[in-house]
Copies of this chain bind each other. A is one copy, B any other.
């Protein structure tokens, strides 16, 4: 039996165990989350996204260190779609622990894969809720890439930070990335590189085209994470957006996040129930083979699964 009270004492080992239970879809996962939920709402959740190579991890580490030095307890969830073969996530965690120091006040977890049942987004959001309930003050969710799942994860944060680097804004791709509209704060990292002014001008131009329903004007912060430059400015920009949005009525926003979470959990639960029937996996396997051999098609196959 998992001891939920120990989780709330923020013992890293118990926090890690709770997250593993969520990841694995353990039998008591839903019970844990029901106990966790009423204790959430105290942490500041910061979503950080951007392309690979933008230096997000260094930036996150420096920001975490900044908060730690200010006396905060920090949780970091790194969403990483690498294959489980590469060990990239584990390697990454080890390197980061060396930078941040591993103590009770810093918790780092990479979430690398999603299972058959989907749910990387749901698992990540649940892990954030666990850290929140366990009393971490700042929770940073770092996503690599700008995929649909990643965008949805970042949307659930209180403050979303989009990281760019000089020279990436030089074609239409930057507009297409779909991340322009989710950024509450923009960072130009590696701002000691050439082209920083041009990137800043282009970003300003893009932002002036976007019309935010809340009329917030996203600040642009220049950083050199590896040299610890601009980190304080970033923390200030994050805080200013947090104060801004707290001053407004955000029940609609919370409702739309709740709706998305409901659908994520429902989707997963329905599939798990359908596959929990006796022989369901064998049937899935047989049908997949039939489709691969062109003796069947996915749509008829799904109808067959649903009939049984």
Q: Which residues of A contact B (CB under 8 A)?
A: 30, 33-34, 37-38, 41, 51-58, 80-83, 85-86, 88-89, 91-92, 95, 114, 116, 118, 120, 144-151, 167-178, 180-181, 210, 251, 254-259, 261-263, 265-267, 269-271, 274, 284-285, 287-289, 291-294, 297-303, 305-306
Q: Which residues of B contact A148 (CB under 8 A)?
A: 81, 114, 120, 147, 149-150
A172 touches B262 (CB 8 A): no
A178 touches B261 (CB 8 A): no
How far is B121's CA from A114's CA once the two chains are assembled, in angstroms? 15
How far is B143's CA from A149's CA once the two chains are assembled, in angstroms? 13
How far is B55's CA from A169's CA once the two chains are assembled, in angstroms? 11
A262 touches B287 (CB 8 A): yes
Contact of A271 among B80, B151, B168, B263 (CB under 8 A): B263
Q: Which residues of B contact A146 (CB under 8 A)?
A: 52, 81, 144-147
Q: Which of A41, A116, A148, A306 is packed against the most chain B CB atoms within 10 Å?
A: A148
Given contacts A33-B297, A258-B291, A297-B34, contact A302 B265 (CB under 8 A): yes
A30 touches B299 (CB 8 A): yes
Contact of A285 among B53, B210, B259, B301 (CB under 8 A): B259
A298 touches B81 (CB 8 A): no
Contacts A34-B300, A86-B180 known; 16 new A-B pairs at CB < 8 A: A33-B297, A33-B298, A52-B176, A53-B173, A58-B171, A81-B147, A82-B175, A88-B175, A118-B118, A144-B146, A147-B147, A255-B289, A261-B298, A262-B302, A269-B306, A270-B270
Complex: chain B residue closest to A293, CB-CB: B251
A270 touches B274 (CB 8 A): yes
Q: List 17 A-B contacts (CB under 8 A).
A: A37-B294, A37-B299, A52-B176, A53-B167, A53-B169, A54-B173, A82-B176, A82-B177, A82-B181, A86-B210, A88-B176, A116-B263, A145-B147, A147-B150, A255-B289, A261-B291, A269-B306
B288 touches A171 (CB 8 A): no
How far is B135's CA from A189's CA once the two chains are assembled, in angstroms? 46
Complex: chain B residue closest to A89, CB-CB: B176
How far is B171's CA from A259's CA once the two chains are assembled, in angstroms? 38
Q: Which residues of B contact A58 (CB under 8 A)?
A: 171
Complex: chain B residue closest to A178, CB-CB: B82
Q: Which of A38, A81, A95 is packed against the most chain B CB atoms within 10 Å?
A: A81
Write the nearest CB–CB distance from A70 to chain B, whole angstroms: 27
How far is B144's CA from A282's CA once the two chains are assembled, in angstroms? 35
Q: Which residues of B contact A292 (CB under 8 A)?
A: 251, 254-255, 257-258
How far is B54's CA from A168's CA once the two chains are assembled, in angstroms? 8
Write the nearest CB–CB distance from A45 to chain B, whole angstroms: 15
How far is B82's CA from A30's CA once the two chains are assembled, in angstroms? 33
Complex: chain B residue closest to A83, CB-CB: B181
Q: Which residues of B contact A81 (CB under 8 A)?
A: 146-148, 151, 178
Q: Which residues of B contact A270 (CB under 8 A)?
A: 267, 270-271, 274, 306
